[in-house]
Amino acid sequence: MTINTIIDTLKREIDSYRFNHSLNVMETAEALARQYGADIHKARLAGILHDCGKNYKGEEARRFVKRIGYQAEEVEIRQPKLLHGIIGEYLAKEMYGVTDEEVLGAIRWHTTGKAGMNLLEKIIYIADYIEPLRSFDGIETMRRIAFEDLERCIVYCSESTIKFILKKGVLLHKNTVDTRNYSLMLIKDRNENI
Ligand SMILES: [Fe+2]
Ligand SMILES: [Fe+2]
């Protein structure tokens, strides 16, 4: 499937807010890929498809991942929104014909991040956060840091997620904590080596 066919198909599959958000993530991911020397086509592809699994909610999401043989963690079962990366990865492969493992990984991990993300995974994680439709306290700083220092931006994004989750009083996925700690350790190592 060409990216234009994917865009046309996706437009029919998801609601218009989610579709516009996906277009924005695609454009933002492209800008970040140019800044950091990542593959532009892969960044666009992962960006447009990152939320393609978002239609499946609650019990439907639980059933979906069970059917594809994913062993969901307790936190994910209780907070099924966390499953849309897994579902998205599956749909990207089966419905949109994506075979590139980097693109699939970026879709899979975009919600929580994980320790030791590759460049494309980092770009999609951040693009999802800073795309133009997003508005919250600190977003301007986040947008600036995104183009200056990817690692610092990840710390900023994951801390913002953690604060939001604590405020809401819902479950926190351990991968979000790992994402934050891992990037923070890289920054500390880097500073010690100067
Ligand atoms: Fe998402
Ligand atoms: Fe998203």
Q: Residue 11: is its pLDDT beyond 70?
A: yes
Q: With pLDDT > 90 as the criterion, what percentage of the chain qualifies? A: 96
Q: Output the pTM of the full model.
A: 0.96
Taking the centre of ligand 2 as the mean of its atom positions, its distance from the CA of residue 104, in whole angstroms, is 15
For residue 33, give both structure tokens. 């890929």
Taking the centre of ligand 2 as the mean of its atom positions, its distance from the CA of residue 67, in whole angstroms, is 24
Mean pLDDT of 68-75: 98
CB 161 within 8 A of CB 183: no
- Look up the domain containing 172 and give its range: 3-192
Q: Residue 148: is its pLDDT beyond 90?
A: yes
> Which one of the ligands is nearest to 48 CA?
2
Distance in angstroms (rounded) separating the CA atoms of residues 47 and 23: 7
Our count of domains for the chain comes to 1
Taking the centre of ligand 1 as the mean of its atom positions, its distance from the CA of residue 130, in whole angstroms, is 13
Q: Residue 50: is its pLDDT beyond 70?
A: yes
Exposure letters 33-42 (e unless 16+ CB within 10 A, then b): beeeebbeeb
Taking the centre of ligand 2 as the mean of its atom positions, its distance from the CA of residue 52, in whole angstroms, is 9
Q: What is the pLDDT of residue 104?
A: 98
Distance in angstroms (rounded) separating the CA atoms of residues 21 and 29: 12
Q: What is the pLDDT of residues 115-147, one digit of tens each?
A: 999 999 999 999 999 999 999 888 999 999 999
> Which one of the ligands is nearest to 24 CA?
2
Q: What is the pLDDT of residue 15?
A: 97
> Who surrounds ion ligand 2 at CB < 5 A?
51, 128
Specify the CATH number for the domain of residue 111: 1.10.3210.10
Taking the centre of ligand 2 as the mean of its atom positions, its distance from the CA of residue 172, in whole angstroms, is 18
CB atoms within 10 A of CB 130: 23
Look at residues 148, 122, 151, 111 and name the one whose alpha carbon lies nearest to residue 38.
122
CB atoms within 10 A of CB 23: 18
Q: Residue 49: is its pLDDT beyond 70?
A: yes
> Which one of the ligands is nearest to 130 CA?
2
Q: What is the pLDDT of residue 194?
A: 66
| pLDDT-derived band at 169, boundaries 50, 70, 90 | very high
Q: What is the pLDDT of residue 187?
A: 97
Mean pLDDT of 64-83: 98
